[in-house]
Structure 1
Amino acid sequence: MYTKKLYLSGGNFHELQAVYDGLRGIVAVTTGYINPASQPVSYDQVADGKLAAVMGICVEYNPKKIDVSSLLDILFSVADPYSPDRQGPLEGPMYGCGVYYDTVEDLPQIQLHLNFMANRGTPPAVDGCGLTVNDPVSDQKQRRQLFVKAEVLKKFVAAGEEHQNYLVKHPDVATHIDIGKFREYIR
């Protein structure tokens, strides 16, 4: 089976793993550290801000069953792309929203989706003849400011085994995302 990978961040990586795990078209979800400044990487170093890295997930998926746009729709339904380095009670650059790709063919879909997110809720531009132009970005004041990194993946380091499937191992842990409600919503 042909699969692809996309690396996503936006808050607690344990919660993101629980959101994506088991969805149609998802082959595997791994928690880890995106673009760490150095090696080795530990959870404590990243969580304390001592090592520059983003906590995120690697989503391995079947592109015949789920596409990049759907993966991003899911991300932005649980993570706030309009807040800088903040997801609920979590704050800091390690929790920021991001989309990291290792295949340049994914970039146009990512850019299109982020452009849509930035322009959601803005009226379409109208030219001098009264024609509606499908380019709401012409007035930069109407754009919503997105705080989403869209970058090439430099390195992904899987988190330790204790951080893989963490919410399955610890079902009583309080989460910012209501995973149960999310599951009901997507069915």
Structure 2
Amino acid sequence: MEDPRPTQTITLAGGCFWCLEAVYEQVRGVLAVESGYSNGEALAPSYDEVCGGTTGHAEVVRIEFDPAAVSLRELLEVFFTIHDPTTRNRQGNDVGTQYRSGIYTHDEAQAAVAREVLAEVNEATGGRAVTELEPLRNYWRAEDYHQHYFVKHPGQGYCAFVVAPKVEKFRHSFARLMKG
């Protein structure tokens, strides 16, 4: 029997996709998280091409969620808490256009919510947010070894020192949104 619940999908860029994926996999109402690349020019980019800066893609997570369990606004509030939307093409030591801050919408209703939340972030940061807001285009799933990376490699250096603190920040700030 087919699941009658309506779901939505939003695509977000906020630095390394491992960080976002690790957090959103723990959010109540999130049904699936996939790491990938979007809003660049190449049709099927590889990780090496994206990291080389030649494709224009951002590292993203595509999040499928149940809006009856978690709203897009709540997902965006988490997004703006776990990354710095005021640094262009950079998150910490990760530098390059692939690490930019972006919200890539799948329809106009999502764009309206994102514009509202982004305006609030801009007000709170004195107009310093550099998060791009665009329709999703040229999405490509990242290689298999990138999927569920933090779950598979929690002791790896980057995971321990960069991803884990973002997960802890989410758990501390959004305990109400954690999966049971």
Whether TM-score is above 0.5 comes out as: yes
1:31-55 deviation digits (Å, cap 9, x = unpaired): 0001231132100111121322110
Alignment length (residue pairs): 166
Picking from 35, 41, 45, the partner of 2:45 is 41
The answer for the alignment partner of 2:151 in structure 1 is 168
Identity %: 28
- Aligned partner of residue 116 in structure 1, secondary structure: helix
Structure 1 residue 18: Cα displacement: 0.4
Structure 1 residue identity aligned to 2:142: A
Secondary structure at the aligned position of 2:98 is classed as helix
Mapped pair 1:184 → 2:144:
no
Once the two structures are overlaid, the 10-residue window that deviates more, 175-184 or 6-15, is: 175-184
The residue type equivalent to 1:29 in the other structure is V
Aligned with 1:29 (options 18, 26, 33) = 33
Q: Which residue of 2 is the match for residue 50 of structure 1? A: 54
User: Which residue is 1:4 aligned to?
Assistant: 8
Contact 1:18 1:167 in 2 (8 A): yes
Q: Of the candidates 12, 15, 19, which is equivalent to residue 15 of structure 1?
A: 19
Preserved CA contact (<8 Å) 1:33 1:157: yes
User: How do residues 17-166 of structure 1 correspond to structure 2 at under 5 angstroms?
Assistant: 17-120=21-124, 143-166=126-149
Residue equivalent to 1:129 = none
What amino acid does structure 1 have at the position aligned with 2:27? L
CA RMSD, 1 decimal: 1.4
Give CA-to-partner distance per residue, 1:83-118, whole Å, 9 cap, x none. 111101111111011000111111111111111111
Q: Is the CA contact 1:19–1:182 (under 8 Å) kept in the aligned structure 2?
A: no
Say which structure is richer in helix: 2
Runs of 4+, deviation exceeding 4 Å: none
Q: Structure 2: which amino acid aligns with 1:30?
A: E
Whole-angstrom CA distance in 2 between matches of 1:44 and 1:161: 14
> Which protein shows a greater Rg?
1
Q: Contact 1:54 / 1:95 at 8 angstroms: preserved in 2?
A: yes
CA contact (8 A) 1:18 1:165 kept: yes
Matched position secondary structure for 2:19:
helix
